């Protein structure tokens, strides 16, 4: 009982400490945002003030042709910054930030605080069509990561506090604490919802906004006119607008990624790509001056109902191109500002067209521009709650709720139907990096195919007749019959279900058909070292139930089969194993001679990482989970490759007995300790 009470007090103290850290993250995030804004103002004064005046651009006429010179000078400054912070300045960095938070150890470089702030400030000051919100989220995340390092925390807690820093930055940018909270939860944490985590996010964003308001007052970024809903029949118009903006959002995502891919394919050095892109953006700004930088003052004018139909249509198209080129060529910044701009102009454009066609179902211009902002944000980022709460806090008018909900949801549905990924994760998904990875998939990523595959496989040979193939199919439970040649190489596979189609064509085919004719060419295979997650994803993509396991080093020699059933059984065993290891048994045998065992990290292994140990390649073992010595109440959780092991950590390891012994000797410093239990529990 006394031990339980001590653990309870320890847990309570730890949570109070987390709350204090969240407050600190919020306060520092607000200060970081204020510093970032000051840098933007300074950069605007240098490039848009001094340099524009020196070149005579405000005079108009032919002097406008000198606008690209300002963009190019900004590009030169960015290249110099990139020499100081190599690899951390150029390009659209928010997807990388999401990857670090959701797939890595959630530790953001501290130098990002300076690198992202300086890079984005120069980019905006020179006039590139980028946003300030992505950089401020990364700055806030870096601040959160730096605060966490004051007190060693688990990866999960680090992840939440990094997201809290990002949310604090967004909250202070828009004077919207709930909007910042939704940004952190919906975009950074990908919708993960745990009450304790949500509390920390609320505390951080509220602390940030309170700090900002105490220093700067209750100032708003945008100043929309009073929202007006003349008739509930207007909701039909808002639904149509949401659908159209969803389609436009999907088109923008593809344009954005297509432009980035085009710049990557250019066989030019980075400085030339940056210069070429900024030259194009400078020409656009010279022709359409309202497209300068993120265009916040222009958004305010559109929310007030300014601009003609032709002007708003032109601004929509120009910003889509300018933003895609700016970030595609390597200029640092975010996409929220351009998204706000495009959504506002597209909403106003829709209102003008709708007023011509169905004037009785159309309200004032500013109202449609405002809802268009939120609807386009929802469709492009796949974050409807963030969009809705930003609108609510911007207007302080809940009359906007119904139109905004309808437009945001319809936009999201249409956009996701056309492009299933948001603008921030599209490139990562194409690279095979799925951010929404649950604990089950994290476990499957740690288990090699060799641990569960079936070795006793029924096979057929290329010259086997149809009768022999049917006989083999009747004697096995396999869904697939690998076709193996005389050298043991897998040359194809016969799907048992396809044999029914052959039989349905008549018995005359029997003497004419052999296994080679029936087999699919280039069948899907995996290597024994591949993870079960890779195998499961391949089976899902190809719509098959089994995959041949082959040895590519031996010319494709068949080693066995892995099936969906093997994956399900392995996941079930591992779930039970981790539960059992946490309570009683130190060894559990499973999967053809493999076993799961608990190992206490010895002093010699303190500070080492799984990436450095290279456990899979060197020892043939998989470290499945860890119970941290400082967070025993969390139980076993999946372990990141870059997480340093701590003396006393309890890790769950799977492998063959001999491999496990070798791994434990390595942890203990490489000495031979086969005569005792070493670090085992």
Express each pLDDT in 115-169 by its tens digit: 999 999 999 999 999 998 889 999 999 998 888 887 766 667 788 889 999 999 9
Least confident range of 78-82, 336-340, 404-408, 485-489:
485-489
Please give the residue range of the domain that contains residue 618: 582-667
Same domain flag for 426 and 532: no
Element (H, E) at 597: strand 594-600
Residue 157 lies in a domain: yes
The pLDDT assigned to 154 comes to: 67
Q: Greater confidence, 607 or 197?
A: 607
Same domain flag for 95 and 140: yes
Q: Which of 430, 460, 486 is the last residue in one of the domains?
A: 430
Of 424, 391, 423, the closest CA to residue 407 belongs to: 391
Same domain flag for 484 and 410: no
Q: How confident is the model at residue 7 (pLDDT cuts 50, 70, 90)?
A: very low
Q: How confident is the model at residue 679 (pLDDT cuts 50, 70, 90)?
A: very low
CB 124 within 8 A of CB 292: no
CB 225 within 8 A of CB 187: no
Same domain flag for 264 and 398: yes
Residue 279 lies in a domain: no
Residue 578: pLDDT above 60? no
Same domain flag for 149 and 85: yes
Least confident range of 189-198, 224-233, 449-458:
189-198
The pLDDT assigned to 672 comes to: 40
State the Cα torsion 477-482-485-489 to the nearest 10°.
Answer: -120
Same domain flag for 515 and 596: no
Least confident range of 205-209, 502-506, 589-593, 639-643:
589-593
Residue 591: pLDDT above 60? no
Residue 571: pLDDT above 60? yes
**Percentage of the chain lying above the pLDDT 90 cut:** 33
Same domain flag for 424 and 449: no
Q: What is the average pLDDT across 27-56?
A: 92
Same domain flag for 538 and 625: no
Residue 491 lies in a domain: yes
Same domain flag for 63 and 170: yes
Residue 190: give its domain's CATH number: 1.10.3080.10
Residue 409 lies in a domain: yes
Residue 314 lies in a domain: yes
The pLDDT assigned to 634 comes to: 57
Q: How confident is the model at residue 594 (pLDDT cuts 50, 70, 90)?
A: low
The pLDDT assigned to 663 comes to: 84
Residue 544 CA, chain-centre distance (Å), reads: 28
Supply 584's token pair.
Answer: 């009683």
Residue 253: pLDDT above 70? yes
Q: How confident is the model at residue 565 (pLDDT cuts 50, 70, 90)?
A: confident
The pLDDT assigned to 582 comes to: 47
Residue 509: give its domain's CATH number: 3.10.580.10
Residue 468 lies in a domain: yes
Q: Greater confidence, 295 or 467?
A: 295
Same domain flag for 26 and 160: yes
Residue 621: pLDDT above 60? yes
Residue 403: pLDDT above 80? yes
Strands (E), 442-570: 480-484, 490-495, 520-521, 525-526, 546-551, 557-563
Q: Greater confidence, 320 or 614?
A: 320
Q: Which long-range contacts (CB under 8 A, 24 or more apart) does 352-356 make?
A: 352/308, 352/309, 352/312, 353/309, 354/237, 354/240, 354/241
**Whole-number average pLDDT of the chain:** 81
The pLDDT assigned to 644 comes to: 84
Number of domains in the chain: 4
The pLDDT assigned to 321 comes to: 96
Same domain flag for 354 and 410: yes
- Other C-beta atoms closer than 10 Å to the C-beta of 49 total 15
Least confident range of 2-16, 36-50, 86-100, 365-379:
2-16
Q: Which of 364, 395, 430 is the last residue in one of the domains?
A: 430
Supply 49's token pair.
Answer: 């003030």
Q: 60: alpha, beta or left, given left = phi > 0 and alpha = psi -120 to 50?
A: left
Residue 620 lies in a domain: yes
Please classify residue 198 by burial: count the beta carbons closer than 10 Å to its beta carbon, then call 0-12 exposed, 13-18 middle and 19+ buried: middle
Same domain flag for 162 and 261: no
Which of helix, strand or coil describes residue 440?
A: helix
Least confident range of 9-18, 154-163, 217-226, 399-408:
9-18
Residue 613: give its domain's CATH number: 3.30.70.1450
Residue 170 lies in a domain: yes
């Amino acid at each position: 009982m006394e031990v339980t009470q001590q653990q309870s007090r320890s847990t309570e103290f730890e949570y109070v400490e987390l709350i204090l850290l969240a407050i600190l993250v919020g306060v520092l995030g607000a200060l970081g945002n204020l510093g970032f804004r000051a840098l933007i103002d300074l950069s605007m004064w240098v490039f848009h003030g001094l340099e524009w005046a020196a070149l005579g651009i405000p005079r108009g006429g032919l002097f406008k042709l000198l606008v690209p010179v300002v963009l190019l000078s900004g590009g030169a400054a960015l290249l110099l910054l990139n020499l100081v912070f190599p690899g951390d300045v150029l390009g659209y960095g928010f997807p990388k930030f999401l990857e670090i938070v959701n797939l890595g150890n959630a530790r953001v470089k501290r130098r990002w605080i300076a690198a992202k702030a300086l890079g984005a400030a120069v980019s905006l000051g020179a006039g590139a069509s980028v946003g300030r919100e992505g950089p401020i989220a990364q700055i806030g995340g870096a601040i959160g990561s730096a605060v966490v390092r004051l007190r060693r925390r688990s990866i999960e807690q680090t992840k939440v506090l990094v997201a809290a820093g990002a949310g604090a930055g967004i909250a202070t940018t828009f004077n919207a604490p709930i909007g910042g909270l939704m940004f952190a939860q919906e975009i950074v944490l990908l919708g993960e919802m745990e009450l304790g985590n949500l509390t920390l996010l609320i505390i951080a964003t509220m602390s940030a906004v309170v700090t900002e308001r105490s220093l700067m007052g209750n100032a708003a970024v945008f100043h929309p006119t009073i929202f007006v809903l003349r008739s509930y029949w207007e909701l039909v118009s808002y639904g149509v607008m949401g659908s159209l903006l969803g389609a436009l959002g999907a088109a923008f995502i593809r344009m954005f990624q297509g432009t980035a891919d085009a710049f990557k394919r250019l066989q030019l050095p980075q400085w030339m790509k940056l210069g070429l892109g900024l030259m194009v953006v400078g020409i656009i700004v010279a022709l359409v001056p309202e497209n300068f930088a993120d265009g916040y003052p222009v958004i305010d004018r559109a929310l007030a109902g300014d601009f003609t139909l032709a002007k708003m249509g032109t601004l929509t198209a120009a910003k889509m191109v300018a933003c895609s080129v700016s970030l595609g060529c390597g200029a640092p910044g975010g996409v929220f500002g351009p998204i706000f701009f495009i959504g506002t102009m597209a909403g106003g454009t829709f209102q003008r067209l709708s007023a011509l066609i169905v004037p009785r179902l159309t309200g004032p211009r500013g109202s449609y521009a405002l809802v268009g902002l939120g609807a386009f944000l929802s469709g492009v980022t796949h974050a409807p709650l963030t969009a809705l709460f930003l609108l609510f806090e911007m207007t302080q008018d809940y009359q906007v709720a119904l139109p905004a909900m309808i437009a945001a949801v319809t936009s999201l549905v249409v956009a996701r139907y056309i492009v299933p990924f948001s603008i921030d994760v599209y490139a990562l998904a194409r690279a095979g990096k799925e951010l929404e990875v649950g604990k089950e998939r994290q476990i499957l990523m740690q288990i090699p195919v060799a641990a569960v595959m079936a070795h006793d496989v029924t096979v057929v040979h290329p010259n086997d007749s149809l009768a022999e193939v049917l006989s083999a199919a009747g004697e096995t439970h396999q869904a697939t019959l690998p076709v193996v040649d005389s050298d043991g190489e897998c040359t194809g596979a016969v799907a048992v279900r396809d044999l029914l189609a052959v039989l349905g064509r008549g018995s005359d085919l029997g003497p004419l058909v052999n296994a080679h004719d029936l087999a699919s060419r280039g069948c899907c295979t995996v290597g024994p070292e591949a993870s079960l997650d890779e195998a499961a994803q391949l089976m899902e993509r190809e719509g098959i139930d089994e995959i041949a396991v082959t040895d590519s080093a031996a010319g494709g020699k068949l080693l066995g089969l892995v099936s969906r059933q093997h994956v399900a059984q392995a996941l079930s065993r591992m779930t039970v194993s981790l539960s059992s290891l946490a309570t009683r048994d130190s060894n559990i045998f499973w999967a053809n001679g493999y076993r799961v065992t608990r190992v206490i990290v010895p002093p010699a292994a303190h500070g080492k990482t799984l990436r450095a140990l290279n456990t899979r390649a060197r020892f043939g073992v998989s470290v499945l989970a860890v119970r941290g010595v400082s967070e025993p109440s969390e139980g076993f959780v999946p372990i990141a490759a870059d997480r340093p092991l701590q003396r006393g950590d309890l890790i769950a390891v799977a492998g063959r007995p001999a491999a496990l012994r070798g791994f434990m000797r390595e942890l203990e410093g490489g000495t031979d300790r086969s005569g005792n239990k070493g670090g085992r529990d």
